[in-house]
Amino acid sequence: MSLSILAIESSCDETSAAVCVDGKILSNIIATQAIHAEYGGVVPELASRAHIQNIVPVVDTAIKKANISLANVNAIAFTQAPGLLGSLLVGTQFAKSIALALAKPLIAVHHMQAHVLANLIIEPAPQFPFLCLTVSGGHTQIVLAHSPLNLEVLGETIDDAAGEAFDKTAKLLGLPYPGGPLVDKYAQSGNPHAFKFAQSQVPELNFSFSGLKTSVLYFLQKQPPNFAAAHMNDLCASIQYTIITMLLHKLQLAVKQTGVKRLCIAGGVSANKGLRHAFETLGKEKGWETFIPPFEYCTDNAAMIAITAYYKYRANQFSDLSISPSARASW
């Protein structure tokens, strides 16, 4: 008998639904919210309202594309934490409603655990154990994956996440939100060594990106008007080079400490072309096995929730209807 799971992701500003059957993703539908660009960042109230509007058509499309019946789904999975509380609440309550109406098991999934396990969606998937550098708008972590449900956080950011650093420095350059992808775009034509910015030094395998933002801010304040526009490519390339250097430096330390040479990246920032190229290049130099999820599984998506729920189902890790979403939850 096949095992089919409907998964819902609503942690921030993407409403997504996916169907997983026997560990294979049959559909992964994502509705984005363009309205936040007008405000220079995600507005929680608007995000939750958009989730309410999007969730029914997104789930319906995912079910139809997978060519299955909702009544035949074995379990309902959802992102329980972390994220914007209002956004999480929409997905949580919708998942609970379906589970209650159809008498289906409920599976709560941690968003960051799901980002790591996105590497298991596409073959060839990494064998365990592996190290994963998870980089997103809200989190930056180095995780040692012992098994699908045994993940150990070795280090994380003590202030801003890498994705936040990309977006906030982009704003200093006068780029619209979301600025991270634009920094990546302009960096392709720039000189990464044109300008030097601060790299914060923090203990062990942790990260800090607040010093980089301050360094860029003070640098730009000393420049003449229109400097950023005239040197956009080089500025973006230098900022991106600094962030990537900080990320990969810590990753190399993690390899040295653990002896694990099977490495993955995950999270929204893993869609960054500069990071993907630098990661693969370093991997070849060091003799690592490297894995990167396809772009559609890097940003927030329900497929990663579904694959995580698949392993949780097999381990009988279910939740009851009393579970609540959490904006900040440990693993």
User: Could you read off the pLDDT of 193-248 as tens digits, one per residue?
Assistant: 999 999 988 999 999 999 999 999 999 999 999 999 999 999 999 999 999 999 99
Q: What is the pLDDT of residues 85-107, one digit of tens each?
A: 999 999 999 999 999 999 999 99
Better-predicted residue by pLDDT, 330 or 247: 247
Total domains in the fold of the chain: 2
Q: Is 200 annotated as a binding residue?
A: no
Q: Is 60 annotated as a binding residue?
A: no
Q: Is 111 annotated as a binding residue?
A: yes
- Helices 273-286 and 232-258 pack at an angle, to 10 degrees, of 40
- In this structure, the answer to whether residues 135 and 112 fall within a common structural domain is no
Q: Is residue 236 part of a domain?
A: yes
Q: Is 155 annotated as a binding residue?
A: no
Retrieve residue 105's tokens.
């098991």
- In this structure, the answer to whether residues 27 and 164 fall within a common structural domain is no
Question: What's residue 328's pLDDT?
Answer: 82
Better-predicted residue by pLDDT, 44 or 249: 249
Q: Is residue 121 part of a domain?
A: no
Q: Is 27 annotated as a binding residue?
A: no
- In this structure, the answer to whether residues 156 and 265 fall within a common structural domain is yes
Question: What's residue 267's pLDDT?
Answer: 95
Question: What's residue 40's pLDDT?
Answer: 79
Q: Is residue 112 part of a domain?
A: yes
Q: What is the pLDDT of residues 54-68, one digit of tens each?
A: 999 999 999 999 999
- In this structure, the answer to whether residues 151 and 262 fall within a common structural domain is yes
Q: Is residue 249 part of a domain?
A: yes
- In this structure, the answer to whether residues 142 and 265 fall within a common structural domain is yes
CATH label of the domain that carries residue 27:
3.30.420.40
* Residue 252 pLDDT level (bands cut at 50, 70, 90): very high
Q: Is residue 187 part of a domain?
A: yes
Q: Is residue 326 part of a domain?
A: no
Residue with tokens 């599984």: 297
Q: Is 110 annotated as a binding residue?
A: no
Q: Is residue 324 part of a domain?
A: no
- In this structure, the answer to whether residues 136 and 282 fall within a common structural domain is yes
Say if residue 323's pLDDT is above 80: yes
* Residue 137 pLDDT level (bands cut at 50, 70, 90): confident
Q: Is 137 annotated as a binding residue?
A: yes
Mean pLDDT on 61-84: 96
Q: Is 115 annotated as a binding residue?
A: yes
Mean pLDDT on 143-164: 96
- pLDDT mean across residues, the chain: 95
Rounded Cα gap, residues 301 and 247, in angstroms? 23
- In this structure, the answer to whether residues 79 and 167 fall within a common structural domain is no
- In this structure, the answer to whether residues 131 and 264 fall within a common structural domain is yes
Rounded Cα gap, residues 104 and 297, in angstroms? 26
Q: Is residue 122 part of a domain?
A: no
- In this structure, the answer to whether residues 162 and 179 fall within a common structural domain is yes
Say if residue 39's pLDDT is above 90: no
Question: What's residue 194's pLDDT?
Answer: 98
- In this structure, the answer to whether residues 104 and 170 fall within a common structural domain is no
Long-range contacts of 146-149 (CB under 8 A, 24+ apart): 148/117, 148/120, 148/308, 148/311, 149/311, 149/312, 149/315, 149/317
Question: What's residue 200's pLDDT?
Answer: 87
Say if residue 313's pLDDT is above 90: yes
Q: Which structural domain, as residue segments, surrounds residue 177?
A: 127-292
Instruction: Give SS3 for 21.
Output: strand
- In this structure, the answer to whether residues 98 and 203 fall within a common structural domain is no
Question: What's residue 41's pLDDT?
Answer: 81
Q: What is the pLDDT of residues 281-303, one digit of tens each?
A: 999 999 999 999 999 999 999 99
Percent of the chain at pLDDT > 90 equals: 91
- In this structure, the answer to whether residues 304 and 278 fall within a common structural domain is no
Question: What's residue 187's pLDDT?
Answer: 98
